[in-house]
Structure 1
Amino acid sequence: MSHESDATRGPTRRRLVLAGLGSAALPLLSPLSHAANVAEGPETLRIGYQKSSTLMIWLKSRETLEKALAPLKVSVQWHEFTSGLPLLESLNVNNLDLTADVADAVPPFALAAGAQLTYYAIETPSPTAQAIVVRQDSPIRTVAQLKGQRVAFAKGAGAHYLLVEALAEAGLSVRDIEPAYLTPADARAAFERGSVAAWVIWDPFLAAVQRQANARILRDGTKLASYRRFYLAATPYAKRRPDVLAVVYDALRRAGDWIKRNPGPAAAWHAPLIGLDPATVEAANLRRTYQVQAVDAASLEEQQRIADAFAAQSILPRKVTVAASPVWKPV
């Protein structure tokens, strides 16, 4: 059984820590007791996802996990979020068990807030699936020209890390610009009315603003930010139900394979679900690998580089050690 959740607002210390990091936090989901679920019937797997979570949306639309997990007596609940930080916030306070893909910059923020999370899968790098964009008529031609300019991005997103690295490449830091921490919808509006000089954004929003507003790419992540997307689990759940993680992992891999083999049909399916036209979705999908793999050493090393870069600029409240987090491995 699948449904969208409403939220409750129970404050916790960790919730406030994450909110202080600049997430446009959605209200938290109502906590569910695993023990109660088991006692009353099938256990419930609670999955959080975003509009950019193509593979999980594919599985949700076909009730693939509901069918695959039925023999394990596990039902599924689906909860949609507008960005990655609120999603991990709910994972942190035991309102979710698994997350769909989040950008590579998101987990370090959750770790800095003390989250007990387990890395269980990644999508291989898609560096061109996020970029710094300017309007077509903008006089800005280089990242260095962003100095003193107002730049829109979502704090803690993969776009945030891309901006940090692009500025460093140009001899600048975030202190040299005027940050505008905005959700994709608010940033798009600000970008189009000219109240920000640039916008750092990911697909499918990137493809949409290119096609619909003729945005020009100033710098993408090529040789700068790999943009791996991570799938995460609450560590207590990962320890207790590795069999469920195995089923989800296999389903994600199959979904990724199908979408890459069938770009046209995949875009036609996905477009109405996220309110975009098929051509825009197909353009976005071409920049994403959708290749799901086990978490490897290279991806964790980059996680540490991201955490260190954020800590060095006081974007994270403290240093984190990524290697201290568990990593699930498929059998």
Structure 2
Amino acid sequence: MTIRRRTLIATAAVVLAAPLFSLPALAGETSLTIGYQPIVEPSRVPQADGTYEKVTGAKITWQKFDGGADVIAALASGSIDIGYVGSSPLAAAASRQLPFETIFVVGLISDAEALAVKGVDKPEQLAGKKIATPFVSTAHYSLLTALKHWNIDPKSVEILNLRPPEIAAAWQRGDIDGAYVWDPVLTEIKKTSTVLATSGDVAKWGGPTFDAWIVSKKFAEEHPDIVTGFVKVTGDAYADYRARPDAWNAGSPEAEKIARLTGAKTEDVPALLKGYYFPSLEEQAGAGLLGGDTVKAVAQTSAFLLEQGKIPAALPDYAPYVSPRWAQEAAKLSF
């Protein structure tokens, strides 16, 4: 263990005991740019509180993105170091051999993404309809998987590439018949639509999806202690939510912080959080996630994207793009 790592452990203990304590000796040593998406999940709370900065000692710039494809492009260009993506853009990036590692599975997507439609009561009525979704996203992957399950030719549906804010605007104008998208936009659309399928349904049909944090290999190699601290803070936020989900109610400080960073309504936050299964730090490194099944899920997603012509080739092994190391190291830290 390096001196820098020991410093992280020692200072983090002080930070958690006194949240307002600053780290002048460490602050600004390293610049870290994090690309996040306005998705309702527990780590929005330490983001709002500045806990990531306090624990890692890094000077963090938070950059907001509306889709995983944009996050991947930013990581590829070197403009961000850590990014939040869905399993589909993650698989596409790995298939193109972008140098990164998956360090934390944010959540297994269930009802947080869905296909919401109007004027459609059954799948076969989708032919000729305008359905929007962000391309190469988990929602896009789930839409294609659902169409395959229903034996519907994707070419018979007019699938439009729109980001969530664009989907919300198009829906209000009446320009589209439906959308496969995620919360909080999904919550608004569902008020005047019918849900034809959720990502929980699609998972049962053989297309499970998840969100994850990834890090550039270069940054991870140069600053392993910061990456470990990032994973620890994220894991602790999940542990807090899992231990007392009812306390994260609409009137809680947690709900207010999440709403502020995502644009969701405070009263919707508790229900939106229930749209995911949030794995614990201990589960992260296990065989069910980063220690095994996440690699299989990425390979499965890549095979489907190849079949759909969304990537030029699939790799024989995706293990280099998924690492349980960071969760294992983070689990050793005690504050």
Partner of 1:25: none
For 1:296 and 1:192, how far apart are their aligned partners in 2?
A: 43
How far residue 177 of structure 1 moved from its aligned partner, in angstroms, is 1.2
Asked if structure 1 preserves the Cα contact closer than 8 Å seen for 2:130 and 2:157, the reply is yes
Are the equivalent residues in 1 in contact too, given 2:102–2:215 (CA < 8 A)?
yes
State the match for 1:247 in structure 2.
229
CA gap of 1:269–1:95, structure 2 versus 1, over 3 A, is closer
Q: Deviations over 1:9-68 (max 9, x none)?
A: xxxxxxxxxxxxxxxxxxxxxxxxxxxxxxx96111221111116344322211101111
Instruction: Return 84-93 or 287-296, whichever deviates more.
Output: 287-296
Matched, 1:84 2:68: yes
Q: CA separation of 1:296/1:207 partners in 2, compared to 1, >3 Å: closer, same or farther?
A: farther
The answer to whether 1:61 aligns with 2:44 is: no
- 1:47 equivalenced with 2:25 (yes/no): no
Counterpart-to-counterpart distance in 2, 1:317 and 1:149? 28
The residue aligned with 1:134 is 117
Equivalent residue number for residue 303 of structure 1: 298
| Structure 1 residue runs without a partner (length 5+) | 1-39
Q: Which amino acid aligns with 2:301?
A: I
1:122 deviation in Å? Answer: 0.5
In structure 1, what is the Cα distance between the partners aligned to 2:259 and 2:62? 19
Is the aligned partner of 1:327 residue 2:329?
A: no
Name the aligned partner's letter for residue 284 of structure 1: L
Tell me which amino acid in the other structure corresponds to 1:234.
S
Aligned to 1:118: 101
1:257 maps to what in 2?
Answer: 239
3-state SS in 1 of match to 2:166 = helix
Query: Which of these residues, 175, 189, 198, is aligned with residue 195 of structure 1?
Result: 175
Q: Deviations over 1:123-180 (max 9, x none)?
A: 3423221110013xx2x12223212221100001110011011001101242221111
Structure 2: gaps of 5 or more residues: 1-26, 330-335
CA contact (8 A) 2:40 2:183 kept: no
In 1, Cα distance between the equivalents of 2:256 and 2:40? Answer: 16
In structure 2, C-alpha distance between the alignment counterparts of 1:197 and 1:208, rounded to whole Å: 15
1:312 CA displacement: 0.8
> Could you tell me how far 1:324 is from its partner in structure 2?
4.0
Deviation at 1:193, TM superposition (A): 3.1
Name which of 146, 150, 158 aligns with 1:178: 158
1:316 to 304, 311, 315: 311
Aligned equivalents of 1:124, 1:277: Cα separation in 2: 20
Match of 1:215 in 2: 193
Which residue in the other structure is 1:157 paired with? Answer: 137
- Output the amino acid matched with 2:34: I
Look up the equivalent residue of 2:53 and give its one-letter code. Answer: E
Kindly provide the amino acid, as one letter, of the partner of residue 133 in structure 2: F
| Distance in 2 between residues matched to 1:221 and 1:145, nearest whole Å | 20
- C-alpha separation between the residues in 2 aligned to 1:142 and 1:189? 25
Contact 2:56-2:225 within 8 A present in 1 as well: no
Identical counterparts, % of pairs: 21
The two structures have a TM-score, normalised by structure 2, of: 0.78
CA contact (8 A) 1:42 1:75 kept: yes
The 1:152–1:204 alpha-carbon spacing in structure 2 relative to 1, beyond 3 Å, is same
Q: 1:299 to 1:144 in 2, by over 3 A?
A: farther
Aligned-partner Cα distance in 2 for 1:311–1:328:
26
Match of 1:274 in 2: 262
Read off the aligned partner of 1:286 and give its amino acid letter: K
CA RMSD in angstroms, aligned pairs only: 2.1
Contact kept? 1:207, 1:281, Cα under 8 Å: no
1:222-262 superposed Cα distances (whole Å, 9 cap, x missing partner): 21333211110001222232222211111101112223423
Q: Give the Cα–Cα distance (whole angstroms) in 2 for the partners of residues 256 and 215 of structure 1.
A: 31
**Aligned partner of residue 33 in structure 2, secondary structure:** strand
Partner of 1:232: 214
Q: Secondary structure at the match of 1:296?
A: coil
Letter in 2 for 1:316: I
Tell me how far apart the structure 1 counterparts of residues 301 and 62 of structure 2 sit (CA, whole Å).
Answer: 29
Provide the TM-score with structure 1 as the length reference: 0.79
Q: Which residue identity does 1:65 align to in structure 2? A: Y
Separation in 2, partners of 1:204, 1:298: 28
- Partners of 2:278 and 2:305 in 1: how far apart? 27
